[in-house]
Structure 1
Amino acid sequence: MASRVVIVPGNGCGEVEKCNWYAWARDEINKVEGMECVLKNMPDPVMARESIWIPFMHDELCCDEKTIIVGHSSGAVAAMRYAEKYKVHGIILVSPCVTDLGMESERVSGYYSRPWEWELMKMNSQFVALYGSTDDPFISWTEMQVVIDNLNPDCHKFDDRGHFMTSVFPDLIATIQKLLKH
């Protein structure tokens, strides 16, 4: 059973306490009895390099079999790559992508330099959920559809949420509460 949630932000968030819904979600999750939510500033926040983020998630954020990783954007990509290597309770992907989107700044992160290991992700995660919106200005729905086709996640598809850059995210809390009941 999960006892921890770790929020991994998108790149560009130097001070995660002030970005998007992250601190709000941490505070809401920490209200759930028996749950702990961890939110820390990531090293290398702009480039979000895999070679730095994955070890940080393992060694500093202590993601393990009792951890639900909530990853947003680059954080979702990091969550997928993490689940290729390590067992986690589950991953919740918010606006994930599977290519570098034709951007050099994404290419250098290292996440897109090899094929995705979908079967390992499924084997290492008890569940996968995905939040995506067809009006995301940064990541096309076709990117998210690849994740859906390969991981068969509990999918939450919207047409009016953009890149999920709001100050609150009640749907996420509902999903976590639902998962904890099973």
Structure 2
Amino acid sequence: MSQVQLPPMKAVIVPGNGASNVEKCNWYGWAWKRLGQIPGFQCLLRNMPDPVTARENIWLPFMESELHCDGQTILIGHSSGAAAAMRYAETHQLYAIILVSAYTSDLGDENERDSGYFNRPWQWEKIKANCHCIVQFGSTDNPFLPWSEQQEVADGLKAELHKYTNRGHFQNTEFSELISVVQGMLNGAA
């Protein structure tokens, strides 16, 4: 017997590493306010523990016990937050993951290596099985991530890919396409 898919009740924004005051960083606060205005829907945005290294063994338990990411959650992850969202979805049911500037390796960076996300193969099939919907935003002009890594995520997850050539690492102060994708999920679940 298949599980009945409950509609999403909230979104959780997981930032990239280095974001100490998340409400004032990139598009996070802007999106948090907009998503929080949707009737009957909640959006959570919290400063993460261990914000510089973004260690998996600290972030994933925080996402479970403090942010309560579950089968009715749209988990939005940016950069290191996208890596966290993918690892979380390997072992947890979520309504959806929205990955922004996602990548698959430590890129030869010691801090990324220390985070723990990149020390084993990605479990694409488990992630897909645990998510009703997977959307990815990527840009070919990202100064930090080669397109090949972003494409590897899209291919591994068969994600609904929103590919750009001019968005860099998605560090703007607004991100209207993200809001549209979430609203589309909510309309589809209604």
Give the TM interval when normalised to the shorter protein: over 0.9
Cross-structure match for 2:110: 104
Mapped to 2, the partners of 1:140 and 1:34 lie a distance apart of: 38
- The answer to whether structure 1 residue 53 and structure 2 residue 59 are counterparts is yes
**1:121-177: per-residue Cα shift (whole Å, max 9, x none)?**
001000100000000000111001111111111110000000000000000000000
SS at match of 1:90: strand
Cross-structure match for 1:116: 122
For residues 29-48 of structure 1, what are the structure 2 equivalents within 5 Å?
29-48=35-54
The amino acid across from 1:39 in the alignment is L
Mapped to 1, the partners of 2:137 and 2:27 lie a distance apart of: 14
Mapped to 1, the partners of 2:173 and 2:21 lie a distance apart of: 14
Mapped to 2, the partners of 1:61 and 1:24 lie a distance apart of: 19
Mapped to 2, the partners of 1:74 and 1:66 lie a distance apart of: 22
Mapped to 1, the partners of 2:118 and 2:172 lie a distance apart of: 27
The amino acid across from 2:170 in the alignment is F
Mapped to 1, the partners of 2:143 and 2:31 lie a distance apart of: 23
For residues 95-174 of structure 1, what are the structure 2 equivalents within 5 Å?
95-174=101-180
The amino acid across from 1:95 in the alignment is S
SS at match of 1:101: coil
Mapped to 2, the partners of 1:34 and 1:2 lie a distance apart of: 10
Mapped to 2, the partners of 1:119 and 1:154 lie a distance apart of: 16
- Structure 1 residue 91: Cα displacement: 0.1
SS at match of 2:115: coil
**Please, what TM-score do these two structures have when normalized by structure 2?**
0.95
Mapped to 2, the partners of 1:141 and 1:128 lie a distance apart of: 18
Mapped to 1, the partners of 2:151 and 2:167 lie a distance apart of: 16
- Size of the alignment, in residue pairs? 182
**1:59-117: per-residue Cα shift (whole Å, max 9, x none)?**
00000000000000000000000000100000000000100001011001000011100
Pairing partner for 2:75 from 69, 73, 95: 69
**Please, what TM-score do these two structures have when normalized by structure 1?**
0.99
Cross-structure match for 1:7: 13
SS at match of 1:168: coil
- Alignment gaps of 5+ in structure 2: 1-6
The amino acid across from 1:167 in the alignment is T
- Structure 1 residue 26: Cα displacement: 0.5
The amino acid across from 2:157 in the alignment is L
SS at match of 1:145: helix
Mapped to 2, the partners of 1:68 and 1:50 lie a distance apart of: 19
- Structure 1 residue 33: Cα displacement: 1.1
- The answer to whether structure 1 residue 81 and structure 2 residue 92 are counterparts is no
- Structure 1 residue 35: Cα displacement: 0.7
Identity %: 53
